[in-house]
Amino acid sequence: MKHWFRLHGLALSRTLGALLRHPVATLLHLAVIGLVASLPLGLYLLLTSVGGVAAKMPVEPQLTVFLKPEADVGALRAQLAKDARLAQTRFVPKDDALKAMESAIGSGDLLAGLAENPLPDAFVLTARRDVPAAELTRLEQNLLTDPGVDTVQLDSAWAARLEKAIALGRHALQVVVLLLAVALVLVTGNAIRMQILTRREEIEVAKLIGATDSFIRRPFHYSAAIQGVLGGLAGCGIAAGAIAWLNPAVGELAAAYGQPFLLALPGPVELAVVCATTMLLCLLGAWFAVWRHLRRYR
Amino acid sequence: MIQFQQVTKRYPGGLDALKGLSMDIQPGELVFLAGHSGAGKSTLLKLIAGIEKPTSGTVLVNGQNLARASRGSLPYVRRHFGLIFQDHKILFDRPVYDNVKLPLDIIGFDGREVKRRVLAALDKVGLSGKEKLNPIALSGGEQQRLCIARAVVHRPSILLADEPTANLDRDYAHDILELFKSFHQVGVTLVISAHDETLMADYGRRILRLKNGQFTA
């Protein structure tokens, strides 16, 4: 056991020495790993932030039916109550609408300059979840044929679209992660191959005088693992920096829509997952490069 | 200790480096391997050390058939040997001390023992006080001695030397052979190859002569 620790300690100290002896090469490689890792992490954080907002929105499609002043509310209510496509029907008289608006804006005398309440009566309809979008459009058209109906607004259609866009984003993220993971394995494999080439003589002599394959492999694996973890940290740093730089502008945009919203910064879980992933991918690249090289010795 | 039974080594391209060789080297023996360049001396030494695999036949070292040794077990077999290479294979990216230390790192000796053994090996070959130098600063003869120090530092039971006296003047070559003799006296088995037979004659040991991959009388 002591022997085993000694061999690993030796490999680790040599690896750290080698990394510190070539600071520029090390930093360049860390930057590459960091950039590669920051891209999917940034995309992930964007999606979770936007997804968090979307989750708070009503996902059941809502229709708001604005009525003309002469509309027959009673008949319409009876008709809507019979419609199987609707889960809920709520009548909002124009006085209630005005009160809601006043409390939202914070002003008690909106009617100050007006002779009467300009808001229309309205029905807020919630369709059943399983009603397809095409059926909702038909319902909208039906309602418009009623002489008492002024306009119909499909309220939550955009929320559904947002949800679909986020789902698309998640798929895109998977593709990006997959491609960049392959890139990371190749980049690290190549970097380790270069390290092997500069130490080819040492490897040859070591093999000739009785080094096991693991003895040869160990420093390269340590090198890849250390660079993977540091590169992962760099990636989180890059993503956090980019988000911190973007957030004031994002906040202003969201405020213009009356929503408090900021992109999330990477937390400890993201940090751990990114570092573990980059470490494993770098290890895989190193393992492959060393395996290829060691194959040539008996 | 080292046994060859009908060993043939054919390199890719059809060149037979060794043809049906059989021999037996006893523990503690000092054997010279003579022959011109290309006679197969280096190949024979590589087969003993398990660096090359025989095309046919059996190579036994301490009773183990190296032709059938697994990739995982070969490194441990090689630790029985001290190898002195024709081209020295010294690492110029590190000082003399670290060159000699390499076999001990591979085996996994602890720090104090490493230092003791490295300094003892350097003292034995006459390189005391030069442990911090880069090998590039050593003369050809000193580099040869460095290679010997690295070969003996882990106290192997068998020393294989490929042309250790090549490119050395006669006096220096004698010094090196005297050094080998001192290892022989403490019971190490030695196989030394050389193309200059006059040097070996002075030592009056067994000489195996190779010509075109076969032993001659």
- B191-203, pLDDT tens digit by residue? 999 887 777 777 7
Res A85: pLDDT: 84
Distance CA A234, CA B102 (A): 35
At residue A126, the pLDDT reads: 84
pLDDT > 70? residue A89? yes
Find the closest chain B residue to A218 by CA distance: B106
Residue A156 has pLDDT above 80, yes or no: no
**Whole-number pLDDT of residue A188:** 93
Pick the CATH number of B2-216 from 3.40.605.10, 3.90.1150.10, 3.30.365.10, 3.40.50.300: 3.40.50.300
Q: What is the mean pLDDT of residues B5-18?
A: 88
Distance CA A35, CA A55 (A): 30
Q: Mean pLDDT in chain B?
A: 90
**Confidence check: pLDDT of B157 > 90:** yes
Contacts of B102 in chain A (CB under 8 A): 205-206, 209
**Contacts with A204 from chain B: Cβ below 8 Å:** 89
Q: State pLDDT tens for residues A13-60.
A: 888 888 888 899 899 999 999 999 999 999 999 988 888 777 766 566
ipTM of the complex: 0.89
Distance from CA of A216 to the nearest CA of B (A): 9
| Confidence label for A110 from pLDDT (cuts 50, 70 and 90) | low
Q: Pick A111 or A77 by higher pLDDT.
A: A77
Over chain A, what is the mean pLDDT?
87
**Inter-chain residue contact B78 with A10, CB threshold 8 Å:** no
Q: Does the distance separating the beta carbons of A208 and B78 come in below 8 Å?
A: yes
Q: Which residues of A touch B91 (CB under 8 A)?
A: 201-202, 205
Residues in A closer than 8 angstroms to B103, CB to CB, are 209-210
Domain boundaries, given as residue ranges, for chain B = 2-216
Kindly determine whether residue A298 and residue B74, on different chains, have CB atoms separated by under 8 Å: yes
Taking only the tens place, the pLDDT of each residue in A188-214 is: 999 999 989 988 999 999 999 999 999
| pLDDT confidence of residue B126 | 92
How many A-B residue pairs are in contact by the CB < 8 A criterion?
Answer: 58
pTM of the model: 0.76
With CA atoms as reference, the chain A residue closest to B105 would be A7
Shortest distance between the Cα of A298 and any Cα of chain B, in A, equals 6
- Domains of chain A, CATH where assigned: 2-57+160-294 (no CATH), 62-155 (3.30.70.3040)
pLDDT in tens, A157-187: 676 777 788 889 889 999 999 999 999 999 9
User: Given an 8 Å threshold on Cβ–Cβ distance, is B72 in contact with A212?
Assistant: yes
Minimum distance, in Å, between the CA of residue A2 and any CA atom of chain B = 9
A202/B52 Cβ within 8 A: no
The C-alpha of B101 sits at a distance from chain A's nearest C-alpha, in angstroms, of: 11
- What is the mean pLDDT of the segment spanning B105-123? 92
Q: Is B52's pLDDT higher than 80? A: yes
